[in-house]
């Protein structure tokens, strides 16, 4: 169910969702007015749009761990580490480690050469091969932007207080579905089944942490295509990787559902590190060619 995981990765981040959890609230400072709070949330959404666009130009390392149960004490089912490259129409993952086994330099090089070919194809967006990828990507991009904008009206906001974490002042708010919200799309309709608390860095107006809980089943295709069951939780943490730029640091998924007639459960954690800006595909292509050339033994022709 990679599509479901991908959906909730950005769903949680851009919808600013989280499940209420016990935290110490500070009442020492006055709460913002309704207008100030609304302005803060709108600025967070605007910043998240910029973060999303920037992520399209950054490579990173991702460690994916999945468990057989909903606790970290459950048996580890899979543990893989990837180097992830943006391609202009998505990403490509290069496997670096599978459990206790490191991938050989030759296997990694073969994978990098596959990334290189994809970046080369990206230089000709109007080719028969690349055009459908570009069209699908742009369609997803528009849908995501529209859905993020829908969050402006999808939730009722309640101030919870402030906290100090790692030297930063974080505002904490509770978001609950707005009963008057009319979803503009099937994806936005899922907002009506999620309630949330978010932690926001007030100084930068950036999302720091969110935890989401499905409190009502989410059906797809009227329940015929599938369903996500209530009780599922989703966590996201972001960190500043460059001045004014906050990107994912950790995702955690724990949910059950059904696809057609087949049930499934997902208990997965993803950790993000080693961010490096590559730029758009044309610039990334230059960087990767240079890296592969540096790896080539002396005397071997390109």
Predicted confidence (pLDDT) per residue in 102-127, tens digit: 999 999 999 999 999 999 999 999 99
Report long-range pairs for 63-71 (Cβ below 8 Å, ≥24 apart).
63/270, 63/271, 63/273, 64/268, 64/269, 64/270, 65/268, 65/269, 65/270, 66/266, 66/267, 66/268, 66/269, 67/267, 67/268, 67/269, 68/267, 69/267, 70/254, 70/267
Quick check: 25 pLDDT over 70? no
Distance CA 302, CA 292 (A): 10
Does 78 or 27 have the greater pLDDT score? 78
Q: Is 79 helix (H, G, I), strand (E, B) or coil?
A: strand
Q: Which of 26-35, 45-54, 165-174 has the lowest mean pLDDT?
A: 26-35
Mean pLDDT of 10-15: 48
Quick check: 92 pLDDT over 50? yes
Are 118 and 93 within 8 A, CB to CB?
no
Nearest to 237 by CA among 264, 265, 201, 288: 201
- Round to the nearest angstrom and report the end-to-end CA distance of the chain: 40
Q: At a CB cut-off of 8 Å and minimum separation 6, what does 295 contact? A: 105, 109
Quick check: 77 pLDDT over 60? yes
pLDDT at 147: 76
pLDDT at 15: 47
Nearest to 202 by CA among 168, 232, 175, 176: 168
Percentage with pLDDT > 90 across the chain? 55
Quick check: 17 pLDDT over 60? no
pLDDT at 8: 53
DSSP 133-183: HHHHHHHHHHHHHHHHHHHHHHEEEEEEEEEEETTEEEEEEEEEE-TT---
> Which stretches within the chain are classed as H helix?
2-15, 34-55, 105-121, 130-154, 186-189, 281-295
Q: Where are the domains of the chain?
A: 2-21+33-295
pLDDT at 248: 96
Distance CA 89, CA 92 (A): 10
For 292, counting Cβ atoms within 10 Å of its Cβ (0-12 exposed, 13-18 middle, 19+ buried), the class is: middle
Only one residue has tokens 């999808």, namely 154
Mean pLDDT of the chain: 85
In this prediction the pTM is 0.84
Give, in order, the Cα–Cα distances in Å from 166 to each of 1, 2, 41, 169, 208.
Answer: 35, 33, 22, 9, 11
Q: Give the CA radius of gyration of the chain.
A: 21
């Amino acid at each position: 169910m990679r599509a479901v995981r991908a959906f909730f990765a950005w769903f949680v981040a851009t919808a600013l969702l989280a499940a209420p959890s016990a935290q110490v609230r500070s009442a020492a400072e006055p709460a913002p007015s309704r207008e100030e709070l609304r302005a803060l949330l709108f600025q967070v959404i605007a910043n998240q749009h910029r973060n999303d666009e920037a992520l399209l130009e950054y490579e990173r390392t991702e460690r994916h761990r999945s468990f057989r149960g909903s606790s970290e004490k459950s048996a580890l089912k899979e543990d893989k580490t990837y180097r992830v490259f943006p391609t202009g129409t998505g990403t490509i993952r290069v496997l670096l480690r599978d459990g206790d086994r490191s991938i050989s330099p030759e296997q990694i090089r073969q994978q990098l050469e596959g990334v290189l070919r994809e970046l080369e194809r990206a230089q000709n967006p109007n080719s028969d091969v690349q055009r459908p990828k570009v069209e699908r990507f742009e369609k997803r991009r528009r849908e995501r932007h529209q859905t993020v904008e829908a969050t402006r009206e999808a939730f009722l906001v309640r101030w919870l207080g402030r906290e100090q974490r790692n030297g930063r002042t974080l505002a904490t708010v509770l978001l609950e579905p707005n009963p008057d919200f009319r979803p503009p799309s099937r994806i936005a309709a899922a907002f009506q089944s999620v309630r949330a608390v978010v932690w926001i860095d007030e100084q930068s107006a950036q999302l720091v942490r969110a935890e989401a809980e499905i409190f009502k089943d989410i059906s797809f295709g009227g329940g015929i295509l599938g369903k996500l069951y209530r009780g599922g939780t989703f966590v996201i943490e972001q960190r500043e990787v460059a001045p004014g730029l906050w990107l994912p640091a950790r995702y955690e998924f724990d949910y059950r559902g059904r696809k057609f007639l087949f049930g499934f459960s997902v208990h997965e954690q993803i950790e993000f590190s080693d961010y490096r800006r590559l730029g758009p595909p044309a610039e990334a292509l230059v960087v990767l060619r240079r890296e592969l050339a540096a790896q080539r033994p002396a005397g071997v022709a390109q």
